[in-house]
Structure 1
Amino acid sequence: MSPYVLEFSRIDKSSLPHVGGKGANLGEMTLAGFPVPSGFCVTTDAYRDFLAQSEQMAGYFQQLDAIQADQLNEIAVLGRAIREHLEQVAIPEAIRAAIVAGWKQAGEQEAYAVRSSATAEDLPMASFAGQQDTYLNVRGEAQLLQAIRKCWASLFTDRAISYRAKNRFDHRAVLLSVVVQRMVFPEVSGILFTADPISGHRGTVSIDASFGLGEALVSGLVSADLYQVRSGAIFAKKIARKKIAIYSLSEGGTVTKELPEAEQERQALGDAQIVELAALGEKIKRHYGSEQDIEWCYAAGRFYIVQSRPITSLYPLAHVAVQPGESPHLLVSFGHQQMMTEAMKPMGLSLIRTMFPFGKASVRAESELTATAGGRVYIDITKLFALKPAREKFPLIMRNIDEMMASAVEQYVQQETFIRGIPPQPGLKKSIVGFIGPILLRAVRNILFAPIAEARPKVEAFVENSVRRGREGLSGISGAERIIRIQEQIGSFMRSAFANLLPYPLAGMLSSRLLRVLISKWLGEEASDLMAVLNRSLPGNVTSEMGLMIGDLADAARPYPQVVELIRSGDPQRFRERLRQVEGGEAFGAAWDRFMGLYGMRCPGEIDVTRPRWRDDPSTLLPSIDSHMRSQQPGEHRAKFAQGAAEAEAAIREVVARLRKQPFGSVKAKLLSRLMYAFRSLMGLREHPKYMMIQHFGMIREGLLDEGRSLVQKGVLQSADEVLFLSLDELLQLTQGQGPSELAKLLEQRKADLTRYRELSPPRLMTSEGEILNGRRKQQDAPEGALLGTPVSAGVIEGIARVVLRPEHANLNKGEIMIAPFTDPGWTPLFHSAIGLVMEVGGLMTHGAVVAREYGLPAVVGIDNATKLIRDGDRIRLDGTRGYVLVLEPSKKE
């Protein structure tokens, strides 16, 4: 047969370059014996030779190269021009003859479905489904050739051009085959997903079904029945009202008909047929080894498969060990707790899994209670819920981290089926009490008895000693010895930090709770108002002090125009070097060096050890200094901090004075005075454990990259930073002369995975079966149309929204409200420039919320997709008391 035409029986997965994703899948299923209607493919060779007939396509491709995905008007004009042009280009005679010969061999009297099949389509990591056109019930030579020509032209529809531009596919590299498949005239048709596409549950087969051809369902013209099958049995059905159906015409083409009233709510498939179809879907999934999106139809008593493609929208599974009979395990996102939800490189994931203190075979091992999915770390919290108190209390603790996460946990762990499937955990209660008990007792002692003035010096001394010991431990060693020492150092870090540092900020948190209760009881007023004042300008907060030093850097730069220009437009990589060449550079450089000595190991997303630190790349820091200069007056940041501290002290004096006038007033005043003093002195210490951790991360990062440079010299790696695409154990093996086989191929795959993972939105909570759990937000008092979130810092403010996706792209001006996906200490420099804060994730005690309260900024967190729903330049009202954001005036920007 001609290279322009291939029968399904001659096609398998290796044929993809010639027949595209759809064609390759149909050939693969035909060879595997699945019930696929017969047919043939017009190959990409035919498309390429057809395109070669045009002298204008080279110019059109140059125009396509310059198109951006959001330039919809330009795409529409260019796409129409290309399609109209291609419909005038002659089909070469050799191609035409091959198609006609293939058609005659398949059966001239048959009707055919003609579909496009792109070479970048229906791949495991990218689906072009629906980007090109389909023509049904095509009859005769003339109709067939016209349908094929239209399929070729459909590679340049608006949606196809935009999709390729968005996903960075080269327009020249995507070729088109055309599938010509014998039509089946079904009684019922639809789509089967071997995993629930909504929840992500991998054990659920989800079937949509309607009468007639499936085009009515795919195009959204009709609602379909929904059937769901688990373990071979139907567990959910939703029968839709199906008003219309699409049927074939004898002369070719299709017609849309209204169904009789009696038919509209009839179940499209019987129960036995549903189970049979689900079993067929499972067989196809097993054949491909991945979850599938399958188009099917039912005619003359049997099912036919007309297409199968990978489901590319599912979030990857977190692989954890689940024993037979156990409940699906519950996994919580570590990134949402740490306010950094972006994908990490493998070394960053490995370091966190090694650092997690529970579920470890040894101090150097990665925790078995952690797993990775989509470049993020998830923690398996299932065993905890074998204890009834944990099922009751854990969701309450989680509310401080993320309200939606807490709600989802609460709903899930109370299900009887989940509880029954958790195996007994002997010794778990004793282990938890043994770990938490001493910490809690020390926290209570800190609240009531311990000399509070000694707390900060003790914490700072512990941090300093820990960092010094860590640096000494990694000094003067290399190779396997250094990697082993890194594993030991980070593997023992959290237990030491918890035991020695947590009692101080925990005492502050407990004091806060007690204060809220006692203030409401004794003073009869809203405790949150007073707590908002007490939260301001907490002493000893190392992250707040870092933010103040950013302001000092801005003030140090202001007198020197050349320094300011360097900050705004200089080369970040050579910033320190170029300071020496400008007026004022020496004075500013001294302040810069002091800052880097204290905080150079920090950066946005700092829990990912693979990220460049400020001392490596100050590009994320310089825009913050610039924003500060534009939004603050000299010394304003220090004055505001002092004012906040003065207001807090005044509030304490007022509360004490009022209590002294009450019965037993001296006792009440003494107790609340102690609690307020404990709260303000100890709460600020909550950032020290993170600060200590990031100092360890900084020295570990230097050690890892040094090992990378050594491996480059030995010819093992191409560049030093390739070590960041390995785990600690893999790097250890490399330093011992072993390591993964086909290392270059492994690194290439992991780099590609990271690119894909960065496009994913990680769920807060999911099960080991892939089911994404979404909680419910409490009903709130908010205006119609408001975006609802969790209130974390009281106050109401109106201003211009400034969407900041990354700190290095920040452009905050005076009077603007920052809209961010999340914030961690590396974002703190921007807080002085904003008048309010909105985040997509977070809770009452997460970083952004704490700093916002300390700075007196109204803040709302937990608004999903806030950075998309609120546009840059919108005028908004932010209510940090009731927890909502309302767009008052949309941005006039295009």
Structure 2
Amino acid sequence: MTVCKIGAIPLHTDTIYGQKAYSLSQLNVQGLNVPEGFALSTNFYTEFLNYNRFPFQPNQYLSHNNEIMDFLICAQFSEEQKKQIAVIHQMLVQHSGDSLAVRSSAVFEDLVGDSMAGLYDSIVQVCTYEELEQAVKKCYASLFSDRALSVLSRKGMDFTHHRMGVIIQKFVAGTPSGVMFTADTIEMDSDVIHVNSVDGYCSQFVDGALPSSFYKVAKQTGEVIESHLAQGSKSLSPEHMESLVQTAQTIEALFEDCQDIEWTFQGDTLYILQARTITTMRNRPFHIQWDEPGESDFTWFRITEQPYPPLVQEIFEMEAVGYHDGAYATAGRMEYYADIRNHNGYFFARLKDMPNRDEKRQAFIEYVDRLFAEGKHIFFDVVLPQLQTYTNQLNHYIGKDLQHAEAVTFLEVAYDFLRKATELHDYAVYGGRYIHEFETYCKEILEDMRLEQTFDLVYVPSQLTKERQQLAHMAEIVNQNDDLQHLFETCHYDEILYARLSKLSTAEVLLGEMEAYLKEFGLLSKGFDNELHPVLIEQPSLVMAKIRTFLTLDTKEFLHNMETTKANKQNLVDAITERLDEESRGEFLNKLQLAEKAFLTGDNHNFYMDSMFRSYIRLAVMQAGNILTREGLIERPDDVHFLRFDQLMDGLRNHTSYITHIEAGKKLIAEQKRMLTPTFIGRAASGPPPHPNQQATANPEEDPHLLTGVSGLRKNVTGIVVYGIPRVLKEDRILVLPHGHAGDIMHIVDKVKGLIFAGGAPFDHLGILSRELGIPSMYYVSNVFERLKVGDMVEIDGVQSQIRRLIKE
């Protein structure tokens, strides 16, 4: 069946008619008023494509989406389809003034776990048959909009199932209209209803064309707890409010979940235009089962925002063990180490005292210093060779179509590599220690040498610096090419942008540079949270965001800064060696070489470890996923997230099917996402967890508006303070951070005016980045988190090594 009346859609056909049409039909069956109408199934859409000999393949959707949209708008319905559409038009438009609403009902729309609201087109007040034909085709075309394809691509949706049903209904010219949520999704309160209304059509609320009124209503009693009436608007009548509350409860009971409902009144009759599950609501209880007696006596703080699926849980736990062992062995930067527990897929941590910390730390420092005395370096001569033993083996498997046994070995070695990399992380951090010894040595020769000059002297381009240079070069290519510049300016979705480059003849040079870039930096990872994100060689479109960042920067200043640093370095080397005899020069040059290695540790350990050590496990896991999918043991490669390593190995070795197991795992994660997760569990907390480098209380005699530190760049800047590294910055800000050892600001660097660190040094990862980009930074600022608050206006004075809090008038 390709056309069905709303209210007569058979059960369990949501994948044929789309969830939106299926839900409306269920509401109609339950006796609720739904505008009269019909649903065109996804089979109707497929027949339309076949009749017009749709020439595009799924692998062309991203690159040719504009052509596809034009093709669909210009395509023709078959004679049989035209008859069916004409019958619908004749039945629904019977009087002068009648009109229709044509709505999308895509396969990927209004799902329980992901609504994708507003992704596709709806057209209202359609009158003539010709307008109806065109409206249906516009809905079809919206499947291929930049935004829709980009969202689906990022979610890993399979384009071979990219289809749409369409709803054709009588347009109800009702007023008032609006949207109601059967729960408060901010306070996570399912006992209230939020009602938004306008004195007009529902589409005028959705589009923001009219000002809206707001009502907070008690679900059980119908009492209006709070209301805000838009200027010039009429208040909802008690009768209308009662009807809305009763209908909300009915729909919620039908779908057994909180609902987002579009509605309108025509006279006293309430019509439901749409109902979908609220995907952001968390109202499930969070049950805790402690592993060991006494655990509940401690305060455990939640450290993850989303529940992790089984594979990611196992990786996170293994990393935690590695970091724990490394921190314990080195008694590194912190006074504590973390103990973690998994409850309902969420991770909680507490800080544990490190026994014999001072003795262990001193012993490790002595070991590192002995290496320095032998001309060896803890990162380059101890840590990196161990990592390269693994990576040399792992690189053999990349880019190949592996057999089962090879995939098993790839997984095993990648797992061992990740464990070793996390264990050695704190070892690597000590690699920068020698710089301070070298600085003291140099000051005995050049007494007035500043920290900024020490940076110049030890500076060597790191792997991440080389990456930034290549990105700056690609940005220059874009800026010098009108076609590329226009494409980057007008195409806002990176997946679409990258796909369109292949069609652009003038993009050949840029694509060549990208290919070279990916050979050297393609194993860098986007990140890690509740999934293993793709690495660059898997998803080259990720490079587009990196290039965009450099399009907003002054790349000439970036390159000039490095050339200036290089010249300053040579001048300093000359100034020092001129004061030394031949034997002392050799000693200085040897020490300089070791100091350069110490400097490179800041960025290079970030490159080889923080930015890349999960990349191999990601590639190995996805290789296994591809094999299991081809053999029908799982449905799609990403489903491996819902297996543990032993199950992954079992599938490869014994051809075990895990489809049912994975479906159960997905349902469990969906349930865990709906849980109202506590900030902490166990003993009641008196405040947030102590920061490992918690500072002493400020001296009351200090000037409250003046802070001092160590300047990394003799440059001044004024800006507003924000803590941490935000995901998005819309305005210029100065970031306040504990240290610059880790983290990345490249995604917001065009808005970062300055950096202030409680500790850290210019030789840390963020210190190197800020210096290359000419961003003023201040280090070792005592009590900065107590004395500067978010929103404070401050001036960083890089010349005087001061920070002034500017008093607001």
Partners of 2:718 and 2:793 within 8 A in 1: yes
Partners of 2:434 and 2:598 within 8 A in 1: no
1:357-409 deviation digits (Å, cap 9, x = unpaired): 3789xxxxxx9964447977667763x63325369x69xxxxxxxxxxxxxxx
Q: Which residue of 2 aligns with 1:389?
A: 358
Partners of 1:346 and 1:726 within 8 A in 2: yes
For residue 641 of structure 1, report the CA deviation from its aligned partner.
0.9
Question: What amino acid is the match of 2:474?
Answer: L
Q: Which residue of 2 aligns with 1:237?
A: none
Partners of 2:323 and 2:423 within 8 A in 1: no
Pair 1:622–1:379, CA change in 2 (3 A):
same
TM-score (norm 2): 0.53
For residue 842 of structure 1, report the CA deviation from its aligned partner.
8.5
Q: What is the aligned-residue identity percentage?
A: 10
Give the Cα–Cα distance (whole angstroms) in 1 for the partners of residues 277 and 358 of structure 2: 52
Give the Cα–Cα distance (whole angstroms) in 2 for the partners of residues 783 and 165 of structure 1: 55
For residue 624 of structure 1, report the CA deviation from its aligned partner.
3.9
Give the Cα–Cα distance (whole angstroms) in 2 for the partners of residues 789 and 767 of structure 1: 40
Q: Which residue of 1 aligns with 2:104?
A: none
Give the Cα–Cα distance (whole angstroms) in 2 for the partners of residues 889 and 55 of structure 1: 38
Alignment of 1:407-806 (within 5 A): 441=367, 443-450=368-375, 466-472=390-396, 477=402, 482=407, 485-495=410-420, 506-507=430-431, 509-515=432-438, 528-534=451-457, 538-570=459-491, 571-605=493-527, 610-617=532-539, 621-633=543-555, 635-654=556-575, 674-693=590-609, 694-695=611-612, 697-712=614-629, 717-729=634-646, 731-732=648-649, 737=656, 743-751=662-670, 753=672, 772-775=688-691, 776-778=694-696, 784=704, 793=712, 797-799=716-718
1:411-452 deviation digits (Å, cap 9, x = unpaired): xxxxxxxxxxxxxxxxxxxxxx7xx58xx63x4355333378
For residue 809 of structure 1, report the CA deviation from its aligned partner.
6.2
Question: What amino acid is the match of 2:358?
Answer: P
Give the Cα–Cα distance (whole angstroms) in 2 for the partners of residues 545 and 830 of structure 1: 17
For residue 470 of structure 1, report the CA deviation from its aligned partner.
1.2
Give the Cα–Cα distance (whole angstroms) in 1 for the partners of residues 775 and 644 of structure 2: 40
The alignment partner of 2:322 has SS state of coil
Partners of 1:818 and 1:834 within 8 A in 2: no
For residue 544 of structure 1, report the CA deviation from its aligned partner.
1.6
Partners of 1:350 and 1:727 within 8 A in 2: yes
Pairwise CA RMSD: 6.4
Partners of 1:836 and 1:859 within 8 A in 2: no
Q: How many residue pairs were aligned?
A: 567
Pair 1:83–1:526, CA change in 2 (3 A):
farther
Pair 1:380–1:556, CA change in 2 (3 A):
same
1:621-645 deviation digits (Å, cap 9, x = unpaired): 4344234234315x44333212113
Pair 1:812–1:720, CA change in 2 (3 A):
farther
Pair 1:521–1:72, CA change in 2 (3 A):
farther
Give the Cα–Cα distance (whole angstroms) in 1 for the partners of residues 306 and 741 of structure 2: 12
Give the Cα–Cα distance (whole angstroms) in 2 for the partners of residues 388 and 817 of structure 1: 35
Pair 1:529–1:375, CA change in 2 (3 A):
farther
Give the Cα–Cα distance (whole angstroms) in 2 for the partners of residues 540 and 494 of structure 1: 28
The alignment partner of 1:692 has SS state of helix
Give the Cα–Cα distance (whole angstroms) in 1 for the partners of residues 794 and 339 of structure 2: 42
Unpaired stretches in structure 2, ≥5 consecutive residues: 1-181, 185-189, 216-225, 259-275, 326-336
Partners of 1:604 and 1:826 within 8 A in 2: no
Pair 1:846–1:73, CA change in 2 (3 A):
farther
Give the Cα–Cα distance (whole angstroms) in 2 for the partners of residues 791 and 727 of structure 1: 48
Q: Which residue of 2 aligns with 1:85?
A: 236
For residue 594 of structure 1, report the CA deviation from its aligned partner.
0.7
1:7-62 deviation digits (Å, cap 9, x = unpaired): xxxxxxxxxxxx999xxxxxxxxxxxxxxxxxxxxx99xx99xx9xx998895876
Partners of 2:738 and 2:759 within 8 A in 1: no
For residue 550 of structure 1, report the CA deviation from its aligned partner.
1.0
Q: Which residue of 2 aligns with 1:419?
A: none
Partners of 1:807 and 1:827 within 8 A in 2: no
For residue 494 of structure 1, report the CA deviation from its aligned partner.
4.6
Partners of 1:511 and 1:675 within 8 A in 2: no
Give the Cα–Cα distance (whole angstroms) in 2 for the partners of residues 374 and 20 of structure 1: 23
TM-score (norm 1): 0.48
Partners of 2:710 and 2:801 within 8 A in 1: yes
Pair 1:809–1:497, CA change in 2 (3 A):
closer
Give the Cα–Cα distance (whole angstroms) in 1 for the partners of residues 417 and 521 of structure 2: 23
Give the Cα–Cα distance (whole angstroms) in 2 for the partners of residues 863 and 551 of structure 1: 33
Partners of 2:414 and 2:616 within 8 A in 1: no
Give the Cα–Cα distance (whole angstroms) in 2 for the partners of residues 71 and 666 of structure 1: 82
Q: Which residue of 2 aligns with 1:847?
A: 765
Pair 1:524–1:596, CA change in 2 (3 A):
same
The alignment partner of 1:869 has SS state of coil
Partners of 2:536 and 2:543 within 8 A in 1: yes
Give the Cα–Cα distance (whole angstroms) in 2 for the partners of residues 889 and 79 of structure 1: 34
The alignment partner of 2:775 has SS state of coil
Q: Which residue of 2 aligns with 1:857?
A: 775
Give the Cα–Cα distance (whole angstroms) in 2 for the partners of residues 653 and 85 of structure 1: 82
Partners of 1:821 and 1:867 within 8 A in 2: no
For residue 551 of structure 1, report the CA deviation from its aligned partner.
0.8
Give the Cα–Cα distance (whole angstroms) in 2 for the partners of residues 488 and 320 of structure 1: 33
Partners of 1:876 and 1:886 within 8 A in 2: yes
Unpaired stretches in structure 1, ≥5 consecutive residues: 1-18, 22-42, 96-115, 127-163, 175-287, 292-316, 336-340, 361-366, 395-432
Pair 1:533–1:368, CA change in 2 (3 A):
closer
Give the Cα–Cα distance (whole angstroms) in 2 for the partners of residues 866 and 594 of structure 1: 47
Partners of 1:568 and 1:626 within 8 A in 2: no
Give the Cα–Cα distance (whole angstroms) in 2 for the partners of residues 588 and 626 of structure 1: 13
Give the Cα–Cα distance (whole angstroms) in 1 for the partners of residues 588 and 208 of structure 2: 64
Question: What amino acid is the match of 2:522?
Answer: G
Give the Cα–Cα distance (whole angstroms) in 2 for the partners of residues 72 and 461 of structure 1: 65
Pair 1:755–1:473, CA change in 2 (3 A):
farther
Partners of 1:621 and 1:807 within 8 A in 2: no
Question: What amino acid is the match of 1:572?
Answer: D
Give the Cα–Cα distance (whole angstroms) in 2 for the partners of residues 684 and 794 of structure 1: 19
The alignment partner of 2:513 has SS state of helix
Pair 1:809–1:686, CA change in 2 (3 A):
closer
Give the Cα–Cα distance (whole angstroms) in 1 for the partners of residues 409 and 624 of structure 2: 12
The alignment partner of 1:386 has SS state of coil
